[in-house]
Amino acid sequence: MRTFSINTFGCKVNQYESQQIRELLEQFGLRQVETTDKPDLVVVNTCCVTHTASAKSRQSIRKARNLNFDAVIVISGCLPTVETGELGNPGENTYVIKHRENTGATLSQIVNPTPPIAIDSRRTDPDCPETLQNCQTKVIRAEYNAKIKSKNKLRNLPELPPLTSFKEHTRAFLKVQDGCDGYCGYCIVPKARPFVTSKPVEAVIEEAQALVRAGHKEIVVTGIFLGAYGQGSVRRKNWVGEQNEKLAELLEKIVEIPGLARIRLSSLEPADITPRLLDTFCKHRNIMPHLHLSLQSGSNIILKKMCRQYSADEFREIVRLIKSRLDRPAITTDIIVGFPGETEADFEATVEMAKEIGFAKMHIFSFSPRKGTAAASLQGRVDNRVIKSRSQILRDLGLELGHKFRQQFLGETDVVLIENDNGQMFGRSERYFMVYVEKTDKKLQKNDLVKVKLVENKKNGMIGQFTGGEISIKSAVLGEKV
């Protein structure tokens, strides 16, 4: 076995874990290639949050098998961990990792077969620690329906390693938290990732330092429920004082890493925004003025049905607080359209709230019942034609609001992290909107931090004119005038 490929679906956490898989396989001496190059090993890191994501994951598995019938295929990620019956029988020479704690162990035994086996862990010991490192597990042959052959301990088998680089990306994702036990009505994630855990501060810092040494100037701190960093549950009623300052404490250490020009936080809920967290934003120029707060609905009735941990008014109040502390911050969000029971009045409440907040970007999701979630059995289904119409209204509004948000920066100078140097150069501004850089005599390269003047506001971003050389990391961190 000499080559491998990885096909990744889903969130930033999945993308992070695919990079871990890549580093582990490279440590074993394998070389990464494209799936079309017929690698010896194909890892499909699946997502199952929506039916569409699940379908795309299964399609990738079939495509990999059709491209190379002799390839070993490993199915990892969230789809194998939930009991929805969607995966079916993926065929021979396929390894299905039902518990992601065993990903490193399974890959190790595939690459160094004795003989080849797949590990399908099941908790048989009531005293078994959550890491499963010392637990008895059932071991089955590679064939999907093979009988249990023997038992094995994972004690000496490798885990997925901390990252030293985020290959082929300018921005590096850094997972610091995993798991959710919140059970929002529409979400299957608590079944796919039920154990709420956090990475120790020292490990986070060491990994972030390694990513900076690899040349990454921007790190996105991420998790399944990032606001629960340091907690054993995502349910705030289980937290002391129902508030968590551990994320702010972690951020205050990350910002001090030499050479780290930019830090972003991935998705948060409004109650995750504490005064101390905003203090940290204000004190450190290398934390970007961009917060992604998942709204889902502007109707209190629907939010309650969804089992969200906030009201529409609480969301508004947090946004007011953010805007009072930060300079024209970008507030981005997710919205679900057509949740069971959503009336025209509920939808209009969402529209009006989006206008009031002035979101810089909105991700619109059309509701479809997800097997295994509470919402799948709720009454009051919204007609698909209505969902489609409402979704389009919000998408159009999102473009309008995004354009309006960017307009206030027209004529100003911003800093852009170049993400592409082939053809049209583009990159993200500090407030995350895309900037397309006009051609210049200066040779710009991917991963350059450059000053641009924002000269035109287009439908999906802004046009920027290059104004000088690459900005230094020190200038970016200290916030010197651009």
Q: Give me the pLDDT at residue 152, please.
A: 40
Q: d(Cα 132, Cα 340) in Å, to the nearest integer?
A: 38
Q: Scanning the structure block, which residue is given the tokens 């396929």? A: 94
Selection from 64, 29, 69, 27 nearest residue 43 by Cα: 64
Confidence of residue 424 (pLDDT cuts 50, 70, 90): confident
CB-based contact 226:272 (threshold 8 Å) = yes
On the question of pLDDT at 128 being above 70, the answer is: no
Average pLDDT, the chain: 89
pLDDT in tens, 342-369: 999 999 999 999 999 999 999 999 999 9
Confidence of residue 430 (pLDDT cuts 50, 70, 90): very high
pLDDT in tens, 167-194: 999 999 999 999 999 999 999 999 999 9
On the question of pLDDT at 338 being above 70, the answer is: yes
Q: Scanning the structure block, which residue is given the tokens 């005293």? A: 127
Selection from 261, 313, 265 nearest residue 293 by Cα: 265
Q: d(Cα 314, Cα 304) in Å, to the nearest integer?
A: 13
**Other C-beta atoms within 10 Å of 68: how many?**
17
Tokens matching residue 468: 């000088």
Q: What's at 138, amino acid-wise?
A: K
Q: d(Cα 461, Cα 9) in Å, to the nearest integer?
A: 25
Question: What are the phi and psi torsion angles at 127 (to 5°)?
Answer: -95, 10
Read off the pTM: 0.89
On the question of pLDDT at 472 being above 60, the answer is: yes
SS3 labels along the chain: CCEEEEEECCCHHHHHHHHHHHHHHHHCCCEECCHHHCCCEEEEEECCCCHHHHHHHHHHHHHHHHHCCCCEEEEEECHHHCCCCCCCCCCCCEEECCCHHHHHHHHHHHHCCCCCEEEECCCCCCCCCCCCCCCEEEEEECCCCCCEEEEEECCCCCCCCCCCCCCCCCEEEEEEEECCCCCCCCCCHHHHCCCCEECCHHHHHHHHHHHHHCCCCEEEEEECCHHHCCCCCCCHHHCHHHCCCHHHHHHHHHCCCCCCCEEEECCECHHHCCHHHHHHHHHCCCECCEEEECCECCCHHHHHHHCCCCCHHHHHHHHHHHHHHCCCCEEEEEEEECCCCCCHHHHHHHHHHHHHHCCCEEEEEECCCCCCCHHHHCCCCCCHHHHHHHHHHHHHHHHHHHHHHHHCCCCCEEEEEEEECCCCEEEECCCCCEEEECCCCCCCCCCCEEEEEEEEECCCCEEEEEEEEECCHHHHHHCCCC
Q: Give me the pLDDT at residue 90, please.
A: 82
Q: Scanning the structure block, which residue is given the tokens 């582990």? A: 24
Domains assigned to the chain: 3-153 (3.40.50), 171-407 (3.80.30.20), 413-478 (2.40.50.140)
Q: Give me the pLDDT at residue 92, please.
A: 83
On the question of pLDDT at 200 being above 60, the answer is: yes
The set of long-range contacts for 135-140, using a CB threshold of 8 Å and a minimum separation of 24, is: 137/102
Q: Give me the pLDDT at residue 468, please.
A: 81
Q: d(Cα 15, Cα 426) in Å, to the nearest integer?
A: 22
Tokens matching residue 163: 């990252």
Percent of the chain having pLDDT more than 90? 79
Query: Please, what is the Cα angle at 184 between 180 and 188, to 5 degrees?
Result: 65
β-bridge pairing 171-178 and 197-198: antiparallel
Confidence of residue 241 (pLDDT cuts 50, 70, 90): confident
Q: What's at 480, amino acid-wise?
A: E
Confidence of residue 264 (pLDDT cuts 50, 70, 90): very high
Q: Of the spans 24-33, 82-91, 414-423, 440-449, which averages the highest pLDDT?
A: 24-33
Percent of the chain having pLDDT more than 70? 88
Q: Which residues contact 391 (CB under 8 A, 6 or more apart)?
A: 337, 338, 364, 366
Confidence of residue 88 (pLDDT cuts 50, 70, 90): confident
Q: Is residue 255 classed exposed, middle or buried when 0-12, 13-18 and 19+ CB atoms within 10 A define those classes?
A: middle
Could you give the count of Cα atoms lying within 13 Å of 288 in the half-sphere of its Cβ?
28
Confidence of residue 136 (pLDDT cuts 50, 70, 90): very low
Q: Give me the pLDDT at residue 84, please.
A: 80
pLDDT in tens, 394-412: 999 999 999 999 999 999 9
